[in-house]
A and B are shown apart, each in its own frame.
Chain A
Amino acid sequence: MLQIKNLNKSYPIGDTSLHVLKGINLSVENGEMVAIMGSSGSGKSTLLNIIGMLDEADSGEYILDNLPIKNLTEKKAAVYRNKFLGFIFQSFNLINYKNALENVALPLYYQGMKRKERQELAMFHLEKVGLANWAHHLPKELSGGQKQRVAIARALAANPKLLLADEPTGALDTTTSHEIMAFIQQLNDEGKTILMVTHEEDIANMCKRIVRLRDGIIIEDKKVNQVRAEQYV
């Protein structure tokens, strides 16, 4: 599904530059659920951004679903993001003047799907996250957990190959976090490949594999026994 070889990335800071990723090697198979862990500054978010084509590596190889990701034009990156990737953010990143249904339908709009079709599909995904009754509410009328579920529905709408989550539970309380994790686990059970950045140990243990970063290097990569989130809900 995903192969990364000797990935390097540095950011210029004044005259010097900050080497954030120092030769990352990582490969993820279909159906995996991987937690990327590390303290702040370890490079975990940069890695996720590069995987998400929101940022580009300086050197190294990145192959997503047998497609080398390199020197993409803005337009091509947009198309790939739309087709292959679904994003879940810590701060949800819903568009505040669009209701839940319209937010979920947005990636489908960029796919060029017809209005009626995409609304039906968006409704289907909202039902899946249990928010069909909230379809016409604006984000400000929803709770944090509901917002994240709308965001998940949106990430799923375009049927991506890979789901990228950046601290998906970072802004939620423990109970809601567990609800969201239970849902993400359920998606993984259904076969979605999931990559998640987190710094919470218990959330990471709900994944099937933990990759630890420190100072731009992978220091540990191990499979773990998944802790099911349902038991806490």
Chain B
Amino acid sequence: MFDLDLWREIFQSINKNRTRSLLSGFTVAFAILLFTILFGIANGLQNTFKEEFVDTAANSIFIMSGKTSKANEGYQAGRQIQFKNEDYKYIKEEYGDKIEFISSRVYKNVNAAYKTEKNSYSLIAVYPDYQFVEKNEIKEGRYINQNDLDNKSKVIVIGRLVEKDLFIQESAIGKYLNLDGIQYKVVGVFSDEGGDNEESIIYIPITTAQHIYGNNDYIDQINLTYSPDLNYDQALGFSNLLTRKLKSRFSVANDDQRGIRVFNMAEATKTVDQMTGGLTVIILVIGFGTLIAGIVGISNIMIFIVKERTKEIGIRKALGATPKSIISIILIESILITAIAGYVGLLIGVGVLELVGPSLEVYFIKNPGVSNSLVIGATLTLILAGALAGYLPAKKASQIKPIVALRND
């Protein structure tokens, strides 16, 4: 039902009573402003926490080797543990049912050159599975595949920033990149949410790297993701099992923290999840507290407005206004003021976040902001709140007796 005359009445009432309208609007705008800023900042904190882990699958396990810190089984302390392809195969075959993706890696720093552009990058040699462990998105071309491994092909997949820095405007796909004097064909470009460092990496098939750089079967690290079917405790048990097995395989003392290191992302993820969960609850409580305070505020003002307008309502009733028309005029005015003021508060809040957001990174607040769904949700809540805040006063107004309202005092 769209009644133009009703809206005209309401706009006239709002317009002719600007102070009153501004006053009630201010309460709501301020509440929403606070709500938005609080929510944005909390989101920023969450972003900071999450970012540390977002670039790697949450179910990752990293297995690294180092120098032993304790003598064991006749070996002296300080022995360098070196993983080889057979260790990768051993884990893959022994625990295949618990593993989702697995890849070993070899690192190397290389100087890359294309035409006149030069820069140094990390070169990481991997299996095709590594794409999923590291959560790389292929932007163009393809990732390393089994064929590359079998043929020891001289192909590479480069990060988005490598392409941007070296190839400037061109597409890197199919071009040859010079890495320390050897030409590699670029077959793919990837992006990664983990930030600039993660996008400045060059991937190469592991067989190619082992053949060209050292002609051995050494590997630096084994990365895997455990099966999503494992729950938190099972995942922890799995990484503990791996630690024990590998320690005995390499004759490393059980209490040696350096020879073999297994890092399970599940532990870190759980901590972060708990923290962000707690944070979310706090934010929700504070946010809704603010909203409720705003609603109570506007409800109070509406009651005051109805008191102030008692005489006017009495006149309207004497002239033939039905209770329904009185309710709708007050209710719609309340909803309108709440919605508009709330929206203004929201816009200011979002604006403030945009403005000061970048300078807050020092305080572990990254990309503070509110999502579209929150904006829509908040707007709907506001309209509902306006209706709620306006309803009781409007009902009261509709019950005003004209003779009481029209008394001459």
Q: Which residues of A contact B (CB under 8 A)?
A: 49, 52, 54-55, 74-75, 78-79, 81-83, 87, 89-91, 93-98, 102, 106-107, 109-111, 115, 154, 158
Contact partner of A91 (CB less than 8 A), chosen from B13, B325, B408, is B408
B403 vs chain A, min Cβ distance (A): 5
**Which residues of the partner chain B approach A111 to less than 8 Å between Cβ atoms?**
320
5 new A-B contacts at CB < 8 Å, known A55-B403, A95-B312: A74-B322, A75-B322, A93-B315, A93-B318, A111-B320
**Which residues of the partner chain B approach A102 to less than 8 Å between Cβ atoms?**
12
From known contacts A49-B403, A78-B322, A110-B325, infer whether A93 and B317 are also in contact, taking CB-CB under 8 Å. no
CB <8 Å contact, A106 and B402:
no
CB <8 Å contact, B323 and A78:
yes
**Which residues of the partner chain B approach A97 to less than 8 Å between Cβ atoms?**
12-13, 16-17
A114 vs chain B, min Cβ distance (A): 9
CB <8 Å contact, B320 and A52:
no
When C-beta atoms are compared, the residue in chain A nearest to B317 turns out to be A78
CB <8 Å contact, B320 and A79:
yes
CB <8 Å contact, A158 and B320:
yes
Q: How far is the CA of A91 from the CA of B408 in the complex (A)?
A: 7
When C-beta atoms are compared, the residue in chain B nearest to A93 turns out to be B315
Q: How far is the CA of A110 from the CA of B314 in the complex (A)?
A: 14
**Which residues of the partner chain A approach B406 to less than 8 Å between Cβ atoms?**
54, 89, 93
Residue B321 lies at the interface, judged by CB distance under 8 Å to chain A: yes
Q: How far is the CA of A74 from the CA of B401 in the complex (A)?
A: 10
Interface centre among A78, A82, A91, A111 (most CB of B within 10 A): A78
CB <8 Å contact, A110 and B321:
yes
CB <8 Å contact, A82 and B320:
yes
**Which residues of the partner chain B approach A95 to less than 8 Å between Cβ atoms?**
312, 315-316
Nearest first, the 5 closest Cβ-Cβ pairs linking A and B are: A82-B320, A97-B16, A110-B320, A78-B322, A107-B319
A185 vs chain B, min Cβ distance (A): 24
Residue B311 lies at the interface, judged by CB distance under 8 Å to chain A: yes
**Which residues of the partner chain A approach B325 to less than 8 Å between Cβ atoms?**
110
Chain B: interface residue count, which band? 20 to 34
**Which residues of the partner chain B approach A154 to less than 8 Å between Cβ atoms?**
319
Q: How far is the CA of A104 from the CA of B322 in the complex (A)?
A: 18
When C-beta atoms are compared, the residue in chain A nearest to B9 turns out to be A109
Residue B249 lies at the interface, judged by CB distance under 8 Å to chain A: no
**Which residues of the partner chain A approach B316 to less than 8 Å between Cβ atoms?**
95, 106, 110
Q: How far is the CA of A49 from the CA of B321 in the complex (A)?
A: 17
CB <8 Å contact, A98 and B319:
no
CB <8 Å contact, B17 and A107:
no
CB <8 Å contact, B319 and A110:
yes
**Which residues of the partner chain B approach A83 to less than 8 Å between Cβ atoms?**
320
Residue B115 lies at the interface, judged by CB distance under 8 Å to chain A: no
CB <8 Å contact, B5 and A54:
no
CB <8 Å contact, B5 and A109:
yes
**Which residues of the partner chain B approach A107 to less than 8 Å between Cβ atoms?**
319-320
When C-beta atoms are compared, the residue in chain B nearest to A114 turns out to be B5
**Which residues of the partner chain A approach B317 to less than 8 Å between Cβ atoms?**
78, 81
When C-beta atoms are compared, the residue in chain A nearest to B4 turns out to be A115
Tell me the B301-339 residues at the A interface (CB within 8 Å): 311-312, 314-325
**Which residues of the partner chain A approach B16 to less than 8 Å between Cβ atoms?**
97-98
B211 vs chain A, min Cβ distance (A): 88
**Which residues of the partner chain A approach B321 to less than 8 Å between Cβ atoms?**
78, 110
From known contacts A90-B408, A91-B408, A93-B406, infer whether A75 and B323 are also in contact, taking CB-CB under 8 Å. yes
CB <8 Å contact, B12 and A81:
no
When C-beta atoms are compared, the residue in chain B nearest to A82 turns out to be B320
**Which residues of the partner chain A approach B323 to less than 8 Å between Cβ atoms?**
74-75, 78
**Which residues of the partner chain A approach B320 to less than 8 Å between Cβ atoms?**
78-79, 81-83, 107, 110-111, 158
B392 vs chain A, min Cβ distance (A): 18
- Interface digits, B146-182 against A, CB 8 Å rule (1 contact, 0 not)? 0000000000000000000000000000000000000
